[in-house]
Structure 1
């Protein structure tokens, strides 16, 4: 077992979407940097949960797994309560549960499909912020100038739109609105709220994109995005940025959207398959 050390000790992190992929990399980054406890909130199967937990606990950090749907208020409230029962507090939160949803022109997208993206990506983030903030406001500060830190998952789509992604783009613009508003509301309590905007990562969220048209065309399209980014991005590069925003030394960074995209935003986004 590796000894824990780092700038986040002895805090507790609460990660939604944390069982696999990007979310789990974020959970691992918190463990590497000294968090004494990491809570993984997700809706995955037991095998995925257990693997995600093992990835965290190899660093000597205790990991609690909680099954909860971020679109359901009672489940979000319960997840926060369960985390506090286990660890006594929540110092850091990273809200990374999300979906990309169907890809297609607005006139071909059903209302139910569009609303589902908003429910997960926007309502889910809002609900998590609501209950994370309620908890953080009740607890004493372990560090000067910071009672808690929340990092929401935005996207390069929170800044630029992409054809065929009206639901996803709307949801990520809304995430930034939530982030800025809650940052203003919470700053007097010593709680910082920020967001991270990753570039292109080959996550499960992009399954619909990779399945568009034939496999070769999808692969070629992905390669173009990768070239724009400069190189392949890794999950832990995003995880480390979330940790960076969370450390108490970042005390004046509030309501910020930290873009971690290589240089994707230097070139307009266009989904060539549409």
Structure 2
């Protein structure tokens, strides 16, 4: 039986990468999906990919760092499908690589604005709606950079550690009210973000795979689909005793 049959799922940052794969997996497993991103063409393409398989999805453009956009996103979700059962707060940016003393205030504010403020705003709005439903499940996208440090990525690392903290607090505050909250912490995943980090790190001297594959004990980076499998499972009733967890999906990276 499909994992989330009949549920309504929201995925932010769903124009590409992990977000797109997650939206597709939710639809494959029986959910009606609200696809959201600031990238309207990419988001609409995700919806088309879902509809091409005979499944149900709509696109809502939103900047998760803007409270009014997030509130409208939840309103549009309920207007489209009547409720909200599952949410994946995936929208995030990596910013510029530099040692902490060389980081700009603008880069720090931009990263925290999307990765932390955006996750907070989405969590707040989603929880308020799920309380009306008397339950739900939320997965936040953190990172292995939310579990260990990464030289050159201090704002990103700080944002993802904070996402893991928000996850734990939300799980503690709303567990008895029927809302489960977890985070996933991907390692290197084959996405545009990873390509950007590899390009910044090597100046194009190495491909993403050449740089990143050897860093993972399993011998390769992961795929967006592998992360999506975990996210949708965490939102399903099969994960009913999972809450407050920061779950690595990283090919053994943080076990080193």
TM-score by length of 2: 0.94
Aligned to 2:112: 118
Find the partner of 1:62 among 47, 53, 56: 56
The alignment's C-alpha RMSD in Å is 1.5
Q: Show CA shifts across 1:14-38 (max 9, x none).
A: 0000121110000011011111x10
Q: Which runs of 5+ in 2 are unaligned?
A: none
Output aligned runs, 1:31-46, within 5 Å.
Answer: 31-35=27-31, 37-46=32-41
Q: Which runs of 5+ in 1 are unaligned?
A: 141-146, 268-274
Q: Which runs of 4+ in 1 moved over 6 A?
A: none
User: Does the alignment pair 1:169 with 2:157?
Assistant: yes
Aligned to 2:77: 83
User: Does the alignment pair 1:24 with 2:20?
Assistant: yes
SS of the residue aligned with 2:140? strand
Find the partner of 1:254 among 239, 243, 248: 243
Tell me how many residue pairs correspond in the alignment: 254
User: Does the alignment pair 1:208 with 2:188?
Assistant: no
User: Does the alignment pair 1:109 with 2:99?
Assistant: no
Distance 1:52 1:71 in 2: 22
Aligned to 1:130: 124
TM-score by length of 1: 0.88
Aligned to 1:95: 89
Aligned to 1:243: 232
User: Does the alignment pair 1:221 with 2:215?
Assistant: no
